[in-house]
A and B are shown apart, each in its own frame.
Chain A
């Protein structure tokens, strides 16, 4: 392998700390990015929760758990993910069907599977397993992928997406579809085919519209005219745009956001926490926050580009881009350019379900990143 000798020399110059981190399968750059982001997140959560140390503490516990998960996932060698991919995928599909048949209904949607010990959300697991599966499928195929491989990949994306959308959980379905799509994108789909797919997707939108639930349609419509329903589904958008807009350039200052502190902003600790941030820190703060996110995403893509094999590349690339989609959809929805779908601001929003999945994904990235070096030795 060409890169192995270069790696070997590289490692001579590495400090003791970074060697130690390597043994632990930790990517120090990614870790630093995550820690900075989480610290900002806790600070803004304190403000969004009206100064509740209790909520911050609970979030801290969740972060700690998520970190442990990340650490353990990072220890799993990359080829294990490859071996497990089809099994996990099959299991995930079975669980998704089970949820539809026998799931618990929470907030009007069936997302949970009650295992009596824990309540489990199989759709969450599909965010990781779908890209694993498609990477597993595509990495062995000749390059660039043929039309038949593309169709099979498409089917592998659509199956879990439709099952999740039926629960209905539009936000998660979107993220799973995006994760699958990015594997195909990195897998070398030809540009003209890609554009063809995007154009036909747009053309298919009216068809999709027929299958949407009333509340989902309402959210899309409200996007174009939030004033039409100021106390219903438009309320969220109106209040969050007021919060963001009134933040101005420098913001109202930490703990001083009137929109959020006075209970106007709904779901301000969860999906709409970005509005609190933008109100209190203004556009300067928002730029800093987006730069931190961009740093993490680009580091993820860097890890992907330097991965040992095709499977690692595709998986790492897809996971990084899914993280970006999280961010984009959340900020887009809070600032009123995308419909309100339930996507949290990754690693900042209060709540534990998505946190663990996200950190498991970063665990995979770290495994992919550090694995290469170990083999090199």
Chain B
């Protein structure tokens, strides 16, 4: 382009722009004038019409929030319900003397200063026919006292609203979860239309996982109101659709048995039907009272739960990751015979420790029994939990082959249970160590992994699923807390079909071999859980486990007594019964429970009660 014209171009351009800016300003003013004409049409010409519309009948849309679905155990025992709670409300226009009323009411029920302040604030801004809450959640006593004095206080009303209640409290807290007020971040993900009028939402557990089933559909009604907004009549109404009810696989009685038997111990108990994946018992001890959260937990209570040494809010069954210890041995034993590292009857001599071949350091890998177990084959090694046998087996197998076999039982993977946030545990391999620790795998670490220690970690649910897969001879199921959904509308029932993957062994007899070995653990003369087996009416298979606790995190402070307790070994137990046709597989982890054999009776009593209740038909 010719440069010479630049200057004149520039000023020409500027003058053109000025002209256009003026044109733009005029257009703006004209268009704003247009808007004003529209407004004057509405506000001056048609004023009478609109004033009339505004003054007289108006239709207002009101939301009708749905009733939340209930949660039952497998026998119809209610675990989460909607209970009426009573609130003290005032209708200002009906009150003769407000100060006198407030004073009088304060003598009957306690009304805090902040409640009073909130009331006065509302009283000032809201219309006199609108109800204002003065005291929330009255107890029965207070309701009775107010009811008796009702005649003294015109304009006072006791209003019942439904709120969530968990009758079993801490017993089912970790699986049912709780609801709480909808918070800011939840507002961004929920369907705003459907949650209009809803105040609470599932926060944890099944309440959260099955929120969409439980919530239901919001309803609406059109009401006619007068100039002050008072409701005159309901014009039409689309009723809300209640949420669907959940029926769980849980048996709350068995759940209570497990909880009681764990007693003071922290830990988890899971029981699963091996063929269906139905989770019958799901205990994480200690529990907490979910009812505290429904109306907003107080600071004091929340602090107490947060700082409790036993961490009651922590769901150990799916979040807790523990070294499986000797409960790992049945699976590794199976791998040994399956992959021809050990013959079914092949023995080795246990002299109380094991030396790694080709290792110059001569480090001794100790057995738990100093004097050794003597000649042991797979059955004896299982019965007495001989470590040396499994050191040798791990050595012959190698970590990567071990990893691949254990992965088939679900170790190192989420089980897919219907709860959110489940942990994966850890099933180490050379590839994993290279990726995460950037170092090579040492042969000694293979031995440690062989007795379920070292890097190995699994959640109680993982252990239960693996045990169930063993009990069903290879059906690895997805554990399910939910049995069926009862549709509130058409009374139809949606049943969750079990979902499973098969573990096929080269030789099916190996299942029976492991069944027999695990039976010896409970019923053999030298079985580590023989105390459990005394006088039992049915045969149970089991395996004890004891996992060392290595240390205490630095930031945790404990007094000496607690330190001693916190350094005790974790006790584990897996089992299933009856051996002939297993109906239930159980996995138990008790933190600092010292020895797995102590957990045998819990497993035995759960299976026994289950058989009494269900196995007869």
Contacts and interface: CB of A to CB of B under 8 A. Distances in A.
Interface of A: 50-51, 106-107, 142-144, 182, 185-186, 188, 230-231, 235, 241-249, 258-259, 262-264, 278, 282-283, 286-287, 290, 293-294, 297-298, 301-302, 304-305, 310, 313-314, 317, 321, 324, 327-328, 331-332, 335-337
A244 B43 contact: yes
Contacts of A241: 42, 50
Given A185-B20, A283-B40, A301-B21, A50 B125 contact: yes
27 contacts: A106-B188, A186-B17, A186-B21, A188-B16, A188-B20, A244-B50, A245-B42, A245-B51, A245-B53, A245-B54, A258-B227, A258-B229, A262-B228, A262-B229, A282-B43, A283-B43, A287-B36, A290-B32, A290-B35, A290-B36, A294-B32, A297-B28, A298-B25, A301-B21, A313-B14, A317-B17, A327-B32
A293 B32 CA distance: 10
Given A290-B32, A317-B24, 19 more contacts: A107-B192, A143-B9, A186-B24, A188-B16, A245-B42, A245-B47, A246-B47, A259-B54, A283-B43, A286-B43, A290-B35, A293-B32, A302-B21, A324-B31, A328-B32, A331-B35, A332-B35, A335-B35, A335-B38
B61 A231 contact: yes
Nearest to B1: A142
A328 B61 contact: no
A245 B17 contact: no
A2 to B, nearest CB: 8
Interface residues of B, number: 45
B44 A248 contact: yes
Contacts of A278: 39, 43
A305 B9 CA distance: 16
Nearest to B12: A143
A37 B25 CA distance: 19
A244 B42 contact: yes
Nearest to A321: B24
B125 A248 contact: no
A287 B61 CA distance: 32
Contacts of A143: 9, 12-13, 16
Contacts of A301: 21, 24-25
Most interface-central of A243, A314, A335 (chain B CB within 10 A): A335
A210 B21 CA distance: 36
A50 B130 CA distance: 14
B29 interface: yes
Contact of B51 (A248, A262, A310): A248
A246 B36 contact: no
Given A185-B24, A245-B49, A297-B28, A283 B14 contact: no
Nearest to A266: B61
B187 to A, nearest CB: 10
Contacts of A258: 54, 227, 229
A321 B222 CA distance: 42
A250 B51 CA distance: 13
A242 B13 contact: no
A335 B40 CA distance: 11
B88 to A, nearest CB: 23
A245 B43 contact: yes
A313 B17 contact: yes
Nearest to B46: A245
B39 A335 contact: yes
B589 to A, nearest CB: 35
Nearest to A328: B31
A172 B12 CA distance: 34
Contacts of B60: 262-264
B124 to A, nearest CB: 8
Contacts of A186: 17, 20-21, 24
